[in-house]
């Protein structure tokens, strides 16, 4: 079978690419489109480092075929900031020192964005369960959770939490 | 180099023709959260993937004669967001919600979880307890089968190679009914069930159980409908003696293996514990209580 | 100079500015190992042994080579034989013959996942197919996994030339015991004879993986003249250069090693696995070669730290004074010698002043992946045993467990059983901070329990280089030779900015490749902020001297008459007030006319690393029916000397504690009867997820290390030492059960609860 020709939208831009059936969306993002912000930590949906938002739904790009992107709208970590202006979640990750090595960070940023889009006022417990599919080995999650809660407060227009 | 083909049919007939006509192994795919892992690991080497998500009816939830028809590829996230379904069948929705992460929830489906045919699938005991029925399509047309008849052994289903599930039907709820699902895992998230338990009950106005279905996962080669455990509940409230009988019936039904996720002894013990705890939630819900399941 | 001053006198050090590499990491721009790409690049893939122990009879690569798209295949035959000799690198011994054979099996495959060949092909799919086409004929041999089984006289022997070192006379038969080590102080038998209360126990721990989220990855390129570049995710670019050159038999100067961003290491990226193979494939194919491990490869063929059996016995007087301690430790090293048995023998009892001590340790090989360093290598294992025993001792004596530690804890002048005398340490202040923390006194509900445990790590210094360059516009570049694994760019920039008296945003820190900065030993041993920080501080001081000299030239006054304050040169003494002060930027602008570029590079061998101590308090609740443990509250107190970047110091402590909690509760390797790992993935190798943990409070104690300009001690390793015992002691408090075997997983706790209930009933 020849390669699939896929037309899709990535971070708001129309994109076309060719892929084999077995190539995952993550493979395509990283190897074909040079969008290497999405990371491969496990390739089995267990670590969340490849998280992207597909038509508003948080998914692991390692568990979606590239060909399935046809006609859909994908947001990757590269599309979270508004040009040079960081998204409040990104800003809070910096302010709270919520990253150490930074490898899991793109996945967390994308997953946190999906969380706050769906639930602008999560409890700490809700945030922890929502983010349970994103593994971080460096931080013990403490500062990540604080950053997400603080970003939620800022997005709600409240004064700085914590 | 052997190449893997992909097709995204837009009708049931087209999908059946693809499955029936494939030269080698053809696999229907809805969310793909199991299929892609098996593909990557080399455990599964299909020649054709049939993406069923573009077939009308495969995605979405509709109410029908008091019950629900859930398209086979409807994601867990969609179930979770459906207030009516959640109110009627909180146990089924919770069981689905327990599968993997939020990311998995964005893709995984009840029918996919069922067809993966894992003894430890979370949603399957909940569906069995609920009396759910699978709507199956194939060359001979449409047929229905109770969920408990689908999985025949680890990794194998009773579906023919040219059949696939179109929808899952959940029945209408009598008054004073409630369901629940609990599983035991070592962590709080992201694990495969060591034991899973689904319970669905209907009570009379006095709180005495008039109907009950209890199902267990991960304690036998397939998810089990445990008739004795259901029978232990019927005619009773959840008093200590009933709970003890339920616990014993659940344990007696277990035919587990010892593996990396649990031992025979541990699984058997926890099956009894979970049966009691799950029944307690189902009874509370049947009485009208709002109970957080997990 | 010395900047050990009250915080109020510091402008930058001790605060928490946004890290300089932060924006790249929250936007996905940072380049990690697998993100690197070169023009014309092809893909390398390793063929691994499916057997735990097998003789390699033959390898036929002809079918793989014949496959279209395959550019090169390598086996052990492509690498030189290296003699069996031990070199000493940084923290411990390194046997390059073993390292070479770990990268590529020669004669025998010693564990499931051991590399036996590698291919490079134009696509990943072709490389995978080629791996399958390589035909290896094995003679499967009996294998051994468990450490004590490997020590048995009839155990299958991995290395026929392994005769236990440290035993006189030399054994006549080979065995899997690589060496025996021992330490003694006083007369331990007399000590136990004097003891009024004795506790003893036998503890076991499982190997645990560092479980960094980024799998190993690298890209290699070799020109026909032998000039080579290697880009990799590593804890040490100089280590990659040295180890790869040694394994390939190349000259170090021909190999330039570029550190990419590293997605976690925790000790696990202090050795090479893929790099020599990628370089060889690149040389043979004439193309740049990229190699990445899968997560399964990471579990099967890299890391972990040792599993162990530890016997401990402690004797005390009724008043709590410990008079004797004995420890026997058996550490599993994996397929090649080199477990952290030495630190294991030292660290457990290093925290207590005990007159009579006897410790014996064994380094044991078995058919598992060779262990790699993991945060405070060896210390968490021994401390799980010793700190559990200390808890038992406190109970038996009916003394508060913190009081027992305060009574026996080491202080300045305490001599350890391994010969070192503690100096400028902060153990007692750590214990005091723990005692005064509200957590220690908070009430517990029925069914809940609280545990406390302590931890020690030496921390190291060593060879480091740091350079400070003043740019033409007055901005400053700081170059170091250590990969930034958890915020060290921030701490380097902060120390330089503090010395220079300029805003930290004006300083841009980078991590240099091996041709851009002087030699630096790898990032490990909690050494970077201490040793590399010392080099950067000294380089900044030299730059200040140059800046003063340049100002003096501009003013035409003697250099001694210039002061440096707040980032400016000020005329001082007789000339005070005579000239307007000159800022760093003003001086930089005129550098060309006052003697050229202003910059300094310092290379040093930092001595005097300050030992670190921690004390953790943990509250748990145990589900009596399922044995599941919930961590309710966790507080980690640690002496860090001086926190340069407070938030990242807290982060190190929190992260170490979280890893220790995983080690305590659920992480383990599960093998089938053929010696194959059954849980080589994040699904069943269970690291803690966000919902497993509470907020972890890090309490920073600062007892300055006088041998560092800012008082720094290493931070990153101590926090993984106490958690296993802290959790075990909390479970003991909640349930009455002493859990001596890790992990304390639900089935184990459930079985222990049932056994205890059965014993009570009977």
Contacts of A131 in chain C (CB under 8 A): 690-691
Same domain for A98 and A44, yes or no, is: no
Same fold, B61-170 and B180-286: no
The pLDDT value given to residue C90: 57
pLDDT digits (tens, 9 = 90+) for B19-58: 999 989 999 999 999 999 999 998 899 999 999 999 999 9
Contacts of A134 in chain B (CB under 8 A): 101
Same domain for A113 and A66, yes or no, is: no
Task: Give the residue on A whose Cα is nearest the Cα of C215.
Answer: A41
Same domain for A33 and A56, yes or no, is: yes
Assess if residue A129 is contained within a domain.
yes
CA B1 to chain centroid: 37
Nearest to C689 among B1, B184, B187 (CB): B187
Partner-chain contact A78 C27, CB within 8 Å: yes
Task: Give the residue on C whose Cα is nearest the Cα of A88.
Answer: C26
Q: Is B38 at the interface with chain A, CB within 8 A? A: no
In chain C, which residues have pLDDT < 70?
88-93
Q: Is A132 at the interface with chain C, CB within 8 A? A: yes
Long-range contacts of range A18-23, CB-CB < 8 Å, 24 or more positions apart?
A19/A66, A19/A67, A20/B3, A20/B4, A20/C125, A21/A65, A21/A67, A21/B3, A21/B4, A21/B5, A21/B6, A21/B49, A22/A65, A22/B4, A22/B39, A22/C125, A23/A65, A23/A66, A23/A67
Backbone angles phi, psi at C751, to 5 degrees: -65, -40
Partner-chain contact A77 C28, CB within 8 Å: yes
CATH 3.30.390.50 fits B180-286, yes or no: yes
Contacts of A69 in chain B (CB under 8 A): none
Is ipTM strictly over 0.95?
Answer: yes
Same domain for A74 and A92, yes or no, is: no
Nearest to B186 among C125, C670, C746 (CB): C746
Give the integer Cα–Cα distance in Å for C388 and C655. Answer: 22
The pLDDT value given to residue B3: 82
Same domain for A71 and A12, yes or no, is: yes
Annotate C215-261 with DSSP letters as a single string. Answer: PPEEEEEE-TTS-EEEEE--S-HHHHHHHHHHHHT--GGGEEEEE-B
Q: Is B4 at the interface with chain A, CB within 8 A? A: yes
CATH of B61-170, one of 3.30.465.10, 1.10.10.60, 3.40.50.620, 3.90.1570.10: 3.30.465.10
Same domain for A34 and A92, yes or no, is: no
Nearest to C28 among A78, A131, A140 (CB): A78
Give the integer Cα–Cα distance in Å for B255 and B232. Answer: 19
Residue B158 reports pLDDT greater than 70: yes
Pairing of strands B133-138, B177-184: unpaired
Contacts of A71 in chain B (CB under 8 A): none
CA end-to-end distance (rounded Å), chain A = 56
For residue C39, the tally of other CB atoms under 10 A from its CB is 7
Partner-chain contact B260 C686, CB within 8 Å: no
Pairing of strands A4-10, A73-75: parallel
Q: Which residue has the tokens 């001596």?
A: C740
**Average pLDDT for residues B237-261, to the nearest whole number?**
96
* Domain boundaries, position A102: 88-155
Nearest to B201 by CA among B170, B228, B180, B227: B180
Residue that finishes a domain, picked among A18, A44, A79:
A79
Partner-chain contact B186 C665, CB within 8 Å: yes
Contacts of B261 in chain C (CB under 8 A): 684
Q: Looking at CA atoms only, how far is residue B24 from chain A in angstroms? A: 14
Contacts of B194 in chain C (CB under 8 A): 746
Q: Looking at CA atoms only, how far is residue A16 from chain B in angstroms? A: 18
Same domain for A11 and A71, yes or no, is: yes
The pLDDT value given to residue B2: 57
What single-letter DSSP state applies at residue A86? P
Nearest to B36 among A24, A114, A129 (CB): A24
Q: Is B269 at the interface with chain C, CB within 8 A? A: yes
CA end-to-end distance (rounded Å), chain B = 47
Residue A161 reports pLDDT greater than 80: no
pLDDT digits (tens, 9 = 90+) for A16-57: 999 999 999 999 999 999 999 999 999 999 999 999 999 999
- Chain B, 170 to 199: residues with Cβ < 8 Å from chain A are 188-190
Task: Chain B: list its partners (3+ Cβ pairs within 8 Å).
Answer: A, C
| Encoded tokens for A12 | 């708001």
Same domain for A63 and A98, yes or no, is: no
| Encoded tokens for C760 | 């009570």
Number of domains composing chain A = 2
Number of domains composing chain C = 1
> Is the Cβ–Cβ distance between A3 and A13 less than 8 Å?
no
Same domain for A55 and A100, yes or no, is: no
Backbone angles phi, psi at C347, to 5 degrees: -75, -35
Nearest to B187 among C296, C692, C751 (CB): C692
Same domain for A70 and A8, yes or no, is: yes
Nearest to C52 by CA among C143, C137, C138: C143
Backbone angles phi, psi at C409, to 5 degrees: -65, 150
Assess if residue C87 is contained within a domain.
no
Partner-chain contact A68 B33, CB within 8 Å: no
Nearest to C692 among B188, B262, B269 (CB): B188
> What is the residue extent of each domain of chain B?
5-50, 61-170, 180-286
Give the integer Cα–Cα distance in Å for A134 and A112. Answer: 10
Nearest to B104 among A45, A67, A129 (CB): A45
Integer Rg of chain B from CA: 19
CA C420 to chain centroid: 22
Q: Looking at CA atoms only, how far is residue C647 from chain A in angstroms? A: 6
- Chain C, 564 to 593: residues with Cβ < 8 Å from chain A are none
Q: Is B186 at the interface with chain C, CB within 8 A? A: yes
Contacts of C541 (CB under 8 A, 6+ apart): C1, C499
Same domain for A111 and A144, yes or no, is: yes
* Domain boundaries, position C516: 7-28+461-606
Residue that finishes a domain, picked among A19, A52, A79:
A79
| Encoded tokens for C272 | 């090479």
CA C145 to chain centroid: 24
Partner-chain contact B191 C683, CB within 8 Å: yes
Task: Give the residue on B whose Cα is nearest the Cα of C623.
Answer: B273
Contacts of C536 (CB under 8 A, 6+ apart): C466, C468, C478, C480, C492, C495, C496, C602
Assess if residue C503 is contained within a domain.
yes
Map residue C569 onto helix, strand or coil: strand
**Average pLDDT for residues B84-98, to the nearest whole number?**
97
Task: Give the residue on C whose Cα is nearest the Cα of B3.
Answer: C125
Partner-chain contact C650 A143, CB within 8 Å: yes
Partner-chain contact C690 A137, CB within 8 Å: no
Q: Is A25 at the interface with chain C, CB within 8 A? A: no
pLDDT digits (tens, 9 = 90+) for A93-128: 999 999 999 999 999 999 999 999 999 999 999 999
Which of C15, C17, C25, C727 best probes binding to A when mutated, by most A CB atoms within 10 angstroms? Answer: C25
Contacts of C647 in chain A (CB under 8 A): 96-97, 143
Annotate C149-188 with DSSP letters as a single string. Answer: HHHSTTSPPS-TT---BT-SSPPSS--SEEEEEEEEES-H
Q: In what order do the strands lie in the sheet with B5-7?
A: B5-7, B48-51, B26-29
Task: Give the residue on A whose Cα is nearest the Cα of B3.
Answer: A1
Contacts of C36 (CB under 8 A, 6+ apart): C217, C218, C219, C231, C260, C290
Residue that finishes a domain, picked among A49, A79, A109:
A79
Assess if residue C514 is contained within a domain.
yes
Contacts of B4 in chain A (CB under 8 A): 1, 20-22
Contacts of C133 in chain B (CB under 8 A): none
Chain length of chain B: 294
Partner-chain contact A44 B40, CB within 8 Å: yes
Assess if residue C477 is contained within a domain.
yes
Assess if residue A162 is contained within a domain.
no
Angle, CA of B207, B211 and B212, to the nearest 5°: 100
CA C358 to chain centroid: 27
Assess if residue C533 is contained within a domain.
yes
Q: Looking at CA atoms only, how far is residue B75 from chain A in angstroms? A: 10
Indicate which CATH number applies to the domain containing A66: 3.10.20.30
Contacts of C125 in chain B (CB under 8 A): 1
Angle between helices C401-408 and C427-436 (to 10 degrees): 160
Assess if residue C598 is contained within a domain.
yes
Nearest to C451 by CA among C383, C486, C401: C401
Nearest to C610 by CA among C696, C707, C726, C516: C707
Instruction: Work out the burial of residue B24: count CB atoms within 10 Å of its CB; fewer than 13 is exposed, 13-18 middle, 19 or more buried.
Output: exposed
Nearest to C217 by CA among A134, A103, A50: A103
Task: Give the residue on B whose Cα is nearest the Cα of A110.
Answer: B103
Nearest to C264 by CA among C527, C494, C643, C524: C524
Map residue C335 onto helix, strand or coil: coil
Q: Is A149 at the interface with chain C, CB within 8 A? A: no
Same domain for A50 and A19, yes or no, is: yes
Q: Is A121 at the interface with chain B, CB within 8 A? A: no
| Encoded tokens for B292 | 């957080």
């Amino acid at each position: 079978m020849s390669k699939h020709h896929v037309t899709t939208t990535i971070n708001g831009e129309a994109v076309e690419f060719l892929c084999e059936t077995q190539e995952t969306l993550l493979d395509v993002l990283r190897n074909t489109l040079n969008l290497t912000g999405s990371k491969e930590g496990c390739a089995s949906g267990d670590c969340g480092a490849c998280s992207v938002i597909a038509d508003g739904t948080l998914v692991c790009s390692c568990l979606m075929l590239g060909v399935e992107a046809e006609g859909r709208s994908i947001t990757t970590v590269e599309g979270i900031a508004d040009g040079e202006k960081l998204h409040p979640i990104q800003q809070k990750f910096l302010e709270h020192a919520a990253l150490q090595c930074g490898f899991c960070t793109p996945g967390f940023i994308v997953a946190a964005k999906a969380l706050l889009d769906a639930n602008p006022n999560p409890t700490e417990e809700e945030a922890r369960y929502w983010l349970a599919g994103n593994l971080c080995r460096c931080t013990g999650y403490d500062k990540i959770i604080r950053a997400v809660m603080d970003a939620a407060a800022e997005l709600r227009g409240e004064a700085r939490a914590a | 180099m052997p190449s893997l083909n992909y097709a995204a049919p837009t009708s049931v007939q087209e999908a059946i023709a693809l499955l029936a006509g494939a030269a080698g192994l053809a696999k229907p795919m809805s969310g793909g959260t199991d299929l892609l892992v098996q593909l990557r690991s080399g455990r599964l080497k299909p020649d054709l993937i049939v993406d069923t998500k573009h077939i009308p009816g495969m995605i979405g939830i509709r109410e029908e004669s008091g019950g629900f028809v859930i398209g086979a590829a409807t994601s867990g996230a969609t179930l979770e967001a459906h207030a009516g379904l959640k109110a009627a069948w909180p146990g089924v929705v919770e069981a689905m919600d327990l599968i993997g992460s939020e990311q998995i929830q964005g893709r995984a489906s009840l029918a996919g979880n069922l067809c993966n045919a894992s003894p430890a699938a979370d949603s399957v005991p909940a569906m069995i307890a609920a009396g759910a029925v699978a709507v199956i399509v194939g060359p001979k047309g449409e047929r229905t089968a109770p969920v408990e008849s689908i999985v025949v052994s680890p990794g194998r289903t009773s579906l023919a190679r040219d059949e696939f599930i179109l929808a899952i039907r959940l029945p209408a709820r009598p008054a004073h009914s409630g369901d629940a699902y609990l599983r035991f895992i070592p962590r709080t998230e992201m694990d495969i069930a060591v034991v899973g338990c689904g319970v669905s009950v209907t009570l009379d106005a006095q709180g005495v159980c008039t109907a009950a279905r209890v199902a267990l996962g991960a304690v036998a080669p397939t998810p089990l409908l445990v008739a004795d455990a259901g029978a232990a509940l019927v005619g009773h409230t959840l008093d200590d003696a009933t709970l003890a009988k339920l616990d014993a019936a659940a344990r007696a039904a277990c035919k587990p293996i010892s593996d990396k996720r649990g031992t025979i002894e541990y699984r058997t013990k926890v099956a009894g514990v979970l049966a009691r705890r799950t029944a307690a939630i189902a009874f509370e819900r049947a009485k009208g209580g709002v109970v957080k399941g997990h | 100079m010395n900047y050990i001053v009250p915080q109020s006198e510091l402008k930058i050090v001790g605060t928490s500015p946004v890290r300089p590499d932060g924006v790249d990491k929250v936007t996905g721009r940072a380049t990690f190992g697998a993100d690197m790409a070169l023009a014309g690049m092809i893909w390398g893939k390793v063929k691994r042994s499916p057997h735990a122990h097998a003789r390699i009879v033959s390898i036929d690569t002809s079918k793989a080579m014949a496959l279209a798209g395959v550019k090169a295949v390598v086996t052990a035959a492509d690498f030189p034989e290296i003699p069996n000799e031990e070199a000493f690198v940084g923290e411990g011994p390194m046997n390059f013959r073993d390292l070479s054979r770990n990268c590529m099996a020669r004669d025998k495959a010693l564990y499931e996942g051991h590399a036996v060949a590698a291919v490079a092909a134009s696509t990943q799919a072709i490389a995978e197919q080629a791996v399958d086409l390589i035909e290896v004929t094995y003679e499967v041999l009996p294998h051994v996994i468990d450490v004590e089984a490997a020590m048995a006289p009839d155990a299958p022997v991995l290395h026929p030339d392994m005769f236990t070192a440290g035993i006189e006379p030399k054994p006549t038969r080979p065995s899997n015991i690589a060496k025996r080590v021992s330490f003694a102080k006083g007369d331990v038998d007399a000590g136990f004879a004097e003891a009024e209360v004795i506790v003893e126990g036998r503890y076991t721990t499982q190997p645990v993986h560092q479980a960094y989220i980024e799998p190993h990855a690298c890209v290699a390129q070799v020109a026909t003249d032998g000039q080579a570049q290697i880009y990799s995710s590593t804890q040490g670019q100089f280590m990659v250069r040295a180890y790869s050159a040694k394994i390939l038999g190349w000259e170090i100067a021909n190999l330039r090693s570029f550190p990419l961003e590293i997605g976690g290491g925790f000790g696990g990226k202090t050795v090479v696995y893929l790099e020599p193979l990628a370089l060889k494939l690149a040389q043979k194919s004439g193309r740049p070669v990229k190699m990445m491990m899968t997560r399964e490869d990471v579990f099967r063929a890299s890391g972990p730290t040792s599993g162990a059996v530890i016997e401990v016995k402690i004797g005390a007087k009724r008043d709590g004074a410990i008079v004797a301690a004995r420890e026997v430790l058996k550490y599993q090293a994996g397929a090649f010698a080199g477990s952290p048995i030495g630190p294991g023998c030292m660290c457990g009892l290093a925290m207590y002043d005990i007159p009579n001590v006897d410790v014996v340790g064994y380094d044991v090989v078995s058919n598992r992946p060779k262990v790699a360093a993991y945060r405070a290598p060896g210390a968490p294992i021994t401390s799980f045993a010793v700190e559990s025993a200390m808890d038992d001792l406190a109970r038996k004596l009916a003394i508060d467990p913190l009081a027992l530690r305060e009574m026996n804890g080491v202080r300045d002048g305490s001599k350890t059983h391994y010969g070192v005398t503690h100096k400028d340490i902060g153990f007692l202040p750590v214990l005091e901070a723990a005692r005064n923390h509200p957590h220690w006194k908070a009430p517990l509900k029925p069914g809940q329990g609280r545990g406390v445990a302590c931890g020690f790590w030496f921390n190291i210094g060593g060879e480091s280089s740091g350079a400070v360059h003043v740019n033409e516009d007055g901005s400053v570049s700081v170059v170091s030779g250590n990969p930034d694994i958890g915020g060290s760019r921030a701490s380097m920039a902060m120390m330089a900015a503090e010395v220079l008296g300029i805003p930290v945003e004006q300083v841009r820190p980078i991590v240099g490749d091996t041709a851009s900065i002087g030699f630096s030993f790898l990032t490990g041993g909690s050494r970077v902020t201490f040793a590399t920080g010392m080099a950067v501080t000294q380089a900044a001081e030299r730059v200040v001297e140059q800046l003063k000299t340049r100002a003096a030239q501009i003013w035409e006054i003697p250099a001694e008459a210039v002061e440096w304050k707040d980032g400016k040169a000020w005329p001082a003494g007789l000339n005070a007030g005579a000239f307007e002060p000159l800022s760093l930027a003003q001086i930089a602008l005129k550098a060309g006319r006052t003697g050229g570029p202003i910059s300094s590079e310092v290379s040093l061998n930092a001595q005097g690393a300050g030992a670190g101590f921690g004390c953790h308090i943990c509250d748990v609740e145990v589900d009596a029916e399922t044995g599941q443990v919930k961590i309710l509250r966790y507080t980690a107190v640690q002496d860090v000397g001086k926190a340069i970047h407070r938030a990242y110091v807290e982060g190190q402590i929190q992260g170490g504690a979280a890893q220790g909690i995983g080690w305590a509760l659920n992480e383990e390797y599960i093998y089938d009867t053929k010696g194959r790992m059954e849980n080589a993935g994040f699904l069943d190798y269970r690291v803690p997820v966000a919902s497993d943990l509470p907020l972890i409070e890090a309490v920073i104690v600062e007892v300055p290390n006088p041998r560092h300009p800012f008082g720094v001690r290493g931070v990153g390793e101590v926090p993984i030492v106490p958690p296993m015992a802290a959790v075990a002691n909390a479970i003991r408090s909640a349930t009455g059960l002493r859990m001596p075997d890790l992990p304390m997983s639900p089935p184990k706790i459930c079985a222990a609860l049932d056994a205890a209930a059965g014993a009570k009933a009977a």
